[in-house]
């Protein structure tokens, strides 16, 4: 095992003589509850129990919080132990989680996991049967911290409903790659998954769609507020913030099925089975819709602990607004002529509700077509040029361009046997994605990072999510962790990612095994 072969690669590794023998149970001395919990979560993933001890001298591993210059953590692994971890005070749980999950990644790479692979009914037990497992780690000194503060993945739980254990497993895998944002797409045309106390029909009606293809009367599901808080806590302990998304004012057919009066035509509509863009959207000329937005976004702000909430804004046709007396009247009263101003109105109403709860909005780059909420983070998906426009307006930016290797619902290759929709995005395409190259140099400090998006129109199972995510998401995580000058070309990273993919397979991840590019096939 070589610490430099991990994905993401740690920034600085000094190797030393000797090996640290892994104990059956990690006796642990941690300065804070948060860092103890972070370590516990990571060691649980690889099957090493933690026992907290009050005397540092008895510990196999010690976590302390210090002000570190630019790193998130430093870790010394001497042959005789104990492992000494310094966590940067400013980065708290995220710093501790980074250190804890590097250790977990090292244990995975050493073939020393002691836990049966998750979803074990589908896979062989991992290290219990792994004869090459060494149960020790090479001595080293690591100091490390990420280049980008937004290292994310988006999972669409609207097109497909994923049960909690699937999400937790996926969050573990995100943490293993030291990602720190889980963007949770909770509502869309085909399903509303967020339990609302004030609008209960959203999930009574909007969480379900007819399923006449699979012998069930309906399919779907939703998350109770308690379940969403459970996921929030689960992620937080792993250094990951949840950015929940309620997508408005378009992509709301499930909500309109529950509350037809929120649409312009006010007609009964079913939760659709087909995918795409729908003309029926929220009637922004209706004050009932304003109350709806205020109420839902206040609830979302209460359920989730993070300070960011995604308010959507993508793919919203204006055709219904143009035919609607209420929407047309609103335009007239505001002395506006362009119907996209109603789009801006909806986003602003949502943003105000968030601001009242001390939170900030994130929105898709369509917000730039009108007037985006001032404080919004803009998520650029249509093309990377949107980033330059957002930066001109002085917004912070997250990149996930659909044409540049961030849409992991696209197929790995054009082989017709490969699952995926709309396009092809190879592992090498992801390797070539250089976030900084899409923003002017003098604005680079407003680029927060990037994320991979897993839309799930064609992905009904957690195992399929893994297949589409890995190793592309691992490659992206590597890009986002390192400085651009530290990221070598696809050639150098190929073997490292390939070895990493084999390790993921060892622990039961349904990882795509290649080919990694179109050209070589």
Q: Identify what 285 binds: Zn ion, ligand ACM, none; CB under 5 to 8 Å per kind.
A: Zn ion
Of 202, 209, 204, whose CA–CA distance to 256 is shortest? Answer: 202
- Residue 53: strand, helix, or coil: coil
Q: Identify what 315 binds: ligand ACM, Zn ion, none; CB under 5 to 8 Å per kind.
A: ligand ACM
CA 453 to chain centre: 8
CA–CA gap between residue 447 and residue 437 (Å, rounded): 11
285 scored as a contact of Zn ion (CB under 5 A): yes
Residue number with CB closer to Zn ion (266 or 360): 266
Shortest separation between residue 25's beta carbon and ligand ACM, angstroms: 46
Shortest separation between residue 401's beta carbon and ligand ACM, angstroms: 10
Q: Identify what 314 binds: Zn ion, ligand ACM, none; CB under 5 to 8 Å per kind.
A: ligand ACM
Of 152, 151, 149, 153, whose CA–CA distance to 409 is shortest? Answer: 153
Cβ(192)–Cβ(253) below 8 Å? no
Q: Which residue sits closest to ligand ACM, CB atoms considered?
A: 314
Helix/strand number for the chain, H first, E second = 15, 19
Burial of 24 (0-12, 13-18, 19+ CB in 10 A): exposed
Q: Which region, judged by CB under 5 A, interacts with Zn ion, from 1-9, 100-108, 136-144, 257-265?
A: 257-265
Cβ(391)–Cβ(397) below 8 Å? yes
**HSE, side-chain direction, 13 A CA sphere, residue 421:** 10
Q: Identify what 443 binds: Zn ion, ligand ACM, none; CB under 5 to 8 Å per kind.
A: none
Count Cβ atoms below 10 Å from residue 221 Cβ, excluding itself. 14
Q: Identify what 467 binds: Zn ion, ligand ACM, none; CB under 5 to 8 Å per kind.
A: none
283 scored as a contact of Zn ion (CB under 5 A): yes
324 scored as a contact of Zn ion (CB under 5 A): yes
Shortest separation between residue 400's beta carbon and ligand ACM, angstroms: 8
264 scored as a contact of Zn ion (CB under 5 A): yes
Of 408, 445, 422, whose CA–CA distance to 154 is shortest? Answer: 408
Q: Identify what 418 binds: ligand ACM, Zn ion, none; CB under 5 to 8 Å per kind.
A: none
Shortest separation between residue 289's beta carbon and Zn ion, angstroms: 8
Shortest separation between residue 312's beta carbon and Zn ion, angstroms: 18
Residue number with CB closer to ligand ACM (169 or 404): 404
Residue number with CB closer to Zn ion (168 or 266): 266
* Residues sharing a CB contact under 8 Å with residue 134, sequence separation 6 or more, in sequence order: 1, 19, 110, 111, 112
Backbone angles phi, psi at 248, to 5 degrees: -140, 165
Question: Alpha-carbon torsion 48, 45, 478, 488, what sign?
Answer: positive
Question: Alpha-carbon torsion 198, 202, 203, 204, what sign?
Answer: positive
Backbone angles phi, psi at 517, to 5 degrees: -145, 160
33-46 and 225-237 are packed helices; what angle lies between their axes, rounded to 10 degrees?
90
Residue number with CB closer to ligand ACM (98 or 456): 456
Residue number with CB closer to ligand ACM (198 or 319): 319
Q: Identify what 324 binds: ligand ACM, Zn ion, none; CB under 5 to 8 Å per kind.
A: Zn ion
Residue number with CB closer to Zn ion (283 or 439): 283
Q: How many residues bind Zn ion (CB under 5 A)?
A: 6
Shortest separation between residue 308's beta carbon and ligand ACM, angstroms: 16
Shortest separation between residue 142's beta carbon and ligand ACM, angstroms: 37
- Out of 135, 168, 265, 326, the only residue in the binding site for Zn ion (CB under 5 A) is 326
Residue number with CB closer to Zn ion (100 or 283): 283
Shortest separation between residue 378's beta carbon and ligand ACM, angstroms: 12
Q: Which region, judged by CB under 5 A, interacts with Zn ion, from 64-72, 143-151, 198-206, 326-334?
A: 326-334
Residue number with CB closer to Zn ion (131 or 333): 333
Shortest separation between residue 154's beta carbon and ligand ACM, angstroms: 9
Binding interface with ligand ACM (CB under 6 A): 314-315, 364, 381
Alpha helices in 27-91 (DSSP H): 33-46
Shortest separation between residue 188's beta carbon and ligand ACM, angstroms: 9
Residue number with CB closer to Zn ion (1 or 316): 316
Burial of 428 (0-12, 13-18, 19+ CB in 10 A): buried
Residue number with CB closer to Zn ion (139 or 346): 346
Shortest separation between residue 283's beta carbon and Zn ion, angstroms: 3
Q: Identify what 381 binds: Zn ion, ligand ACM, none; CB under 5 to 8 Å per kind.
A: ligand ACM
CA dihedral 408, 383, 343, 352 (to 10 degrees): 70
Residue number with CB closer to ligand ACM (40 or 157): 157
What is the C-alpha radius of gyration for the chain, rounded to an integer number of angstroms? Answer: 24
- Residue 387: strand, helix, or coil: helix
- Residue 411: strand, helix, or coil: strand
Residues at the contact surface with Zn ion, assessed by CB under 5 A: 264, 283, 285, 324, 326-327
């Amino acid at each position: 095992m070589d610490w430099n072969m991990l994905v993401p690669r740690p920034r600085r590794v000094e190797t030393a003589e000797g090996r640290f023998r892994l104990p059956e149970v990690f006796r642990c001395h941690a300065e804070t509850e948060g860092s103890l919990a972070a370590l516990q979560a990571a060691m649980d993933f690889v099957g090493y129990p933690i026992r907290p001890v009050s005397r540092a001298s008895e510990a196999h591993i010690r976590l302390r919080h210090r002000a570190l210059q630019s790193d998130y953590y430093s870790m010394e692994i001497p042959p005789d132990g104990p492992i000494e971890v310094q966590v940067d005070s400013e980065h708290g749980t995220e710093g501790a989680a980074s250190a804890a999950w590097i250790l977990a990644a090292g244990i995975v790479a050493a073939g020393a996991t002691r836990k049966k692979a998750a979803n074990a009914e589908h896979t062989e037990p991992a290290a219990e049967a792994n004869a090459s497992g060494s149960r020790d780690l090479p001595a080293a000194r690591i100091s490390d911290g990420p280049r980008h503060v937004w290292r994310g993945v988006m999972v669409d739980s609207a097109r497909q409903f994923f049960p909690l254990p699937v999400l937790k497993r996926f969050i573990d895998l995100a943490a293993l790659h030291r990602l720190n944002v889980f963007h949770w797409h909770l509502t869309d045309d085909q399903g509303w998954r967020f339990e609302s106390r004030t609008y209960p029909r959203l999930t009574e009606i909007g969480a379900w769609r007819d399923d006449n293809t699979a012998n069930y009367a309906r399919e779907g599901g939703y998350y109770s507020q308690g379940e969403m808080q459970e996921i929030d806590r689960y992620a937080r302990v792993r250094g990951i913030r949840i950015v929940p998304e309620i997508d408005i004012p378009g992509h709301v057919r499930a909500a309109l099925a529950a509350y037809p009066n929120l649409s312009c035509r006010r007609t009964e509509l079913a939760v659709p089975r087909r995918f795409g863009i729908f003309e029926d959207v929220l009637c922004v000329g209706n004050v009932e819709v304003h109350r709806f937005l205020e109420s839902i976004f206040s609830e979302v702000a209460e359920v989730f602990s993070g300070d960011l909430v995604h308010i959507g804004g993508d793919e919203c046709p204006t055709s219904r607004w143009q035919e609607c007396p209420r929407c047309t009247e609103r335009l007239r009263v505001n002395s506006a002529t362009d119907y996209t101003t109603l789009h801006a109105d909806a986003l602003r109403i949502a943003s105000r509700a968030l601001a009242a709860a001390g939170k900030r909005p994130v929105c898709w780059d369509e917000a730039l077509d009108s007037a985006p909420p001032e404080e919004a983070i803009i998520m650029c998906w249509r093309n990377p040029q949107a980033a330059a426009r957002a930066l001109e307006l002085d917004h912070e930016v997250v990149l996930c361009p659909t044409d540049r290797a961030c849409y992991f619902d696209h197929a790995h290759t054009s082989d017709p046997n490969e699952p995926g929709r709309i396009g092809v995005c190879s592992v090498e395409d992801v390797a070539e994605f250089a976030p900084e190259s899409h923003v002017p140099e003098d604005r680079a400090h407003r680029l927060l990072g990037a994320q991979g998006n897993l839309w799930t129109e064609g992905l009904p199972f957690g195992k399929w999510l893994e297949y589409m995510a890995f190793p592309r998401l691992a490659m992206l995580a590597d890009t986002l962790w390192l400085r651009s000058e530290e990221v070598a070309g696809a050639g150098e990273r190929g073997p490292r990612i390939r070895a990493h993919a084999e390790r993921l397979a060892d622990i039961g991840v349904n990882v795509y095994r290649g080919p990694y590019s179109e050209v070589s096939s």
